Amino acid sequence: MRVGARRSMGWYEDFLFSNAAIFVEAGIRSIKVQDETREDGAAAIETVARMSALGRAFRAQFPQTELGIIIQAHDGQAPLAIADAAGASFVRLKVFVGAALNAEGLRNGLSVSATNFRESLGRPDIRIYADVHDRTAHPLAPVPNDTAALWAQSMGADALVITGSSFEDSLQRVASARTAGVKRPIIIGGGVNTGNVRQALEYADAVVVSTALQRDGAALDDMALWDRDKVLRFVAAAAVPPFVTE
C-alpha cells in the first residue's frame, strides 16, 4: 500500500482499508504501508502522526495481518517510532549501510541511527528489513553486493532486501549472498510476478510484490488500485505465501 498526496484522514483510511481488504481476503498475510511524501531530511511531524494513526487503524481493522512501515524520508528513527505506536512488526530501510545517491540527493547508511533508536525504544521485536544496494539509488563507492549484504547483516538487519537490475540478476545476487555467508532471511524486493514467484521462493525466503498486482488502468488513488483476480492467481501460484505487499 502507498499513501502519497495529502488528503483527509478519512480518505486515507478508506483507501487503506478498501485496498488492504483485497489482499487480506485473498490470503496475503503481510502488508507494508508506504508513505511517499518527499521530504528534505528527516520525516516531518505530520508524516509520523498520520502514519502512526493509519497503522493503528489498520491493526484494529486487520488484527491477523502483519503490518510493515516504510517512509519516503531518509530517516532511521521515524519508521520505528511509527511501528512502535501502530503495533507494526517490521520496517524497511532503503539505505542501511554505506552511502548512496538517488534523485533526492546523498543518502548515508541508517544502520547506527536505526538500531540505537530501536534499542532505546526497548523494541527488539520490530524487525528491520534492510535493502542491499536499492535499485533506485547508486552506491557512492564500488562496494560489491556481497560485501554490502554482509555489512547489513553485521550492522543489525533482521532480513535483507535484495533486488537486481532484472529478475535473473536478483536471483544471482541472492545466491551469491548466501555463498558469501549471509544467514539472515533474504527478500526479493521487486520484479516478482505470478509467472516467476515459485522460482523466486526457491532462492529467497520471501518477496515483495506490488506493481504486478495492480489493476490495469487504475489511478494511483483508486479505492481498488489492486486487482482481486490477479492477487488470487498470485497466491495460488506461490502455493506457500511468505510474501509482503506494498
Average pLDDT across each block of 10 residues of the chain; the chain has 246 residues. List them in order. 71 96 95 91 94 97 97 96 98 96 90 98 98 90 96 98 96 98 97 96 95 94 94 89 53
Within 13 A of 79's CA, how many CA atoms are on the CB side?
Answer: 32
- Residue 74 confidence (pLDDT): 95
Question: Which domain range does residue 216 map to?
Answer: 2-245
Residues 6+ apart with CB under 8 A from 230: 194, 212, 213, 214, 215
- Residue 239 confidence (pLDDT): 78
- Residue 168 confidence (pLDDT): 97
- Residue 153 confidence (pLDDT): 98
- Residue 174 confidence (pLDDT): 98
All three cell numbers of 170: 536478483
Total domain count, the chain: 1
- Residue 182 confidence (pLDDT): 98
CATH number at residue 46: 3.20.20.70
pTM of the full structure: 0.93
Cα→Cα distances 231→32, 130, 163, 194, 226, Å: 15, 25, 21, 9, 8
- Residue 136 confidence (pLDDT): 84
